[in-house]
A = this chain, B = another copy of it.
Amino acid sequence: MHWKIGLIGFGNVGKAFIKLYSQYSAVWKEKYNLDASFHFILNSKGAVCNKKGLDIHSIIEATSLSNLSNWEEGAKFNDVFNPDLINLLIEVSPTNIKNGEPALSYIKNALENKISVVTGNKGPLLFRYKELISLAQKNNLLLGIGCAAGAAFPSINFGLFDLAGCEIFKIEGILNGVCNYILTKMYESNISFDEALQQTIAMGIAETDPSYDIDGLDTAVKIIIITNALMNSQITLNDINIQGIRNIDNDIINNAKKDGNKIKLIGYAIKNKNKIDAGVRLIQINRSHPFWNIDGTKKAVLYSTELAGDFLITGGASSPEGAAFSLWRDIINYKPLILKLCNE
């Protein structure tokens, strides 16, 4: 399968995405019969574009797109959603969780033009996943979203492929490394919330304004995306209750500890018939809970199914390379819904 790729966004993940292809193309060709070429790269200032394919080595070496010879400032975006130019759009522009734009329009535009999409952008998925996946399936296209809910950590991928055939009735996840790190350090080292938070900022894993993490919003966005992908639902931020960890103090942690418990922040979704109860909440767990050892910056998801039992997964690199890998994973795993054997 030959993928003719257009890329929107040229930050660390976009760059790593191209670099990974230059490193692994020979292996992936042999193992998965995968070919790819790059035909445009857009960012907020303009684009490079080439119908015959861009030279990826000069792109990898460029610190900025505008250093490249075929750079066109202020290039118009709409010209490039052309199925003669590309058959796969990689959308990794910055996330907007207010309304998903402009990425939402890019993705919709691509799918309507019979172009597959793989994205790490949470915004469009938060608002219109159901509409987008219906459009993709109607046109027998790939809509890969694994990167948006854990990157290398395969939260959605596991549900799609390892639980293929199952109905998942419960999903619970430790989905935010900053919150889990803070709760772990308060438990293990008895340091204050503020001290633990400062450590996460010093480590570069929390933002300078960390409210997106510690107020539970990041966990909320991820559990919504995972739930809508795996439970065929269309819940939004308005449908769920969200707890954060801002008001957790050492007394709360130490009282739990005296009872043999830890406190964890989880995103959860429970499906009962076609009703979904989802949210973000603090739970107390004891030594026998599957999340007992999920400490520090680790993430984990616990899936419950009637057919095949319960499953726990944890791990995966938190890095631009890890995120870029997850985009390629979606591409490699793509299987059209309408599948005919075309043996030659």
A-side residues, CB < 8 A to B, are: 1, 20, 24, 27-28, 32-33, 139-140, 152, 154, 157-158, 161-167, 290, 292-293, 303, 307-317, 321-322, 325-326, 328-329, 332-344
Contact = CB atoms under 8 A, between A and B. Distances in A.
A162 B303 CA distance: 15
Contacts of A326: 308
Nearest to A323: B308
A33 B310 contact: no
Contacts of A164: 32, 328-329, 332-333
A336 B166 CA distance: 22
Given A157-B161, A161-B333, A342-B342, A315 B325 contact: no
B333 A335 contact: yes
* Protomer copies: 2
A46 B344 CA distance: 36
Contacts of A315: 303, 309-312
Contacts of A293: 290, 292-293
29 contacts: A20-B307, A24-B165, A27-B167, A28-B165, A140-B341, A140-B343, A157-B161, A157-B162, A158-B162, A158-B313, A161-B333, A162-B329, A164-B333, A165-B332, A166-B325, A293-B293, A307-B321, A308-B317, A308-B321, A308-B325, A308-B326, A309-B315, A310-B316, A311-B316, A312-B313, A338-B344, A340-B340, A340-B342, A342-B342
Nearest to A160: B161
